[in-house]
Amino acid sequence: MRRLWFSALKVLAPSLVFIALANGAYAQKAPPEQAMRFDYVKATDVPAMAGGVFRKAKCCDITEWKLPRPTDAGGGDVELTVVAPISKGKHPVVLWLHREGQEVKRAMFVQEAEALAASGTASLLVELPFKQPYVLRADNNAGDAETITMAVIDTRRALDWAATRPEFNIDKVAVVGHRFGAWAATLLAAVDARIDALVLMSPPGKPSGWLQVTEQPKAKKFRESFDKDAWISYLAAIEPLDPEKWIQYAAPAKVHFQFASGDEWVQTLEQVDLYRAAVQPKTRQMFDSNELLNEEARKERQIWLKKALLGK
């Protein structure tokens, strides 16, 4: 019903899309002129190739999938791991968006996905183009901006495919993102009305500002690798995508922030400003950890997701 209401409002107010909140206030999804950077050619039938199914007793079925990326978004494949409950029926869905780094893969979330499957929730672990962030590209100073944009489109493609499958309940969708994954998750929730809940793990708030002043060794080295004109070009490319500019449009999705007190990549003020920019319903928790978070955060995340999707 909510999505029918959303569609009707799109027709009535093409310049701004509004969604009614339970408390009577209104929040808008991102205006079309902003959201159009994440547009792509959508299809009701998304072809996919599946690998073999691995059944884990008393838990779940685990399958690897490849989906064709939209041709207007560069072509290639979107790879994902599906962790689905063994039980029949339509299951709520969690999209897991991993952090950046050469060594990082979507498999980092498999154990959490298995734990949710045992309670009746399916997971889609999306492989994102985050292998080489914060790297100077001599021929493309907009590299990270394009990477984040591609991640949003890839995740929307995965959700399009899930909507064609009988085992997924697309009326109950949560997204969990870590660092760059949290950046992409924020943008996704700002432009896609299918997102009902959002967990942001160690999210950046304003990368375009932080990168100009930070003394974090890797980030400082990255900054100093540019000449002046190239650095201006890089900042100009990522500044419009700063999560702080987009988080307000995530409503009416529930947003939960998991901040780390020892985060080397995000300043405390940046965390505060990002939280303030978000619209209710929103919650936050600070953990005594570095940006990778800890076991306490994992347990808290599981509890929050179950309550948001299953009411448990």
Task: Give per-residue pLDDT as tens, 187-245.
Answer: 999 999 999 999 999 999 999 999 999 999 988 988 888 888 888 988 999 999 999 99
User: Is residue 166 predicted with pLDDT exceeding 80?
Assistant: yes
Rounded CA-CA distance 56/47 in Å is 26
Domains and CATH numbers, the chain: 43-310 (3.40.50.1820)
Report phi then psi at 36, rounded to 5.
-65, -20
The DSSP secondary structure of 187-204, one letter per residue, reads HHHHH-TT--EEEEES--
Distances (CA, A) of 107 to 70, 79, 81, 126: 24, 12, 8, 9
The whole-number pLDDT of residue 47 equals 81
Task: Give per-residue pLDDT as tens, 252-261.
Answer: 999 999 999 9
User: Is residue 27 predicted with pLDDT exceeding 80?
Assistant: no
The whole-number pLDDT of residue 221 equals 87
Rounded CA-CA distance 100/284 in Å is 22
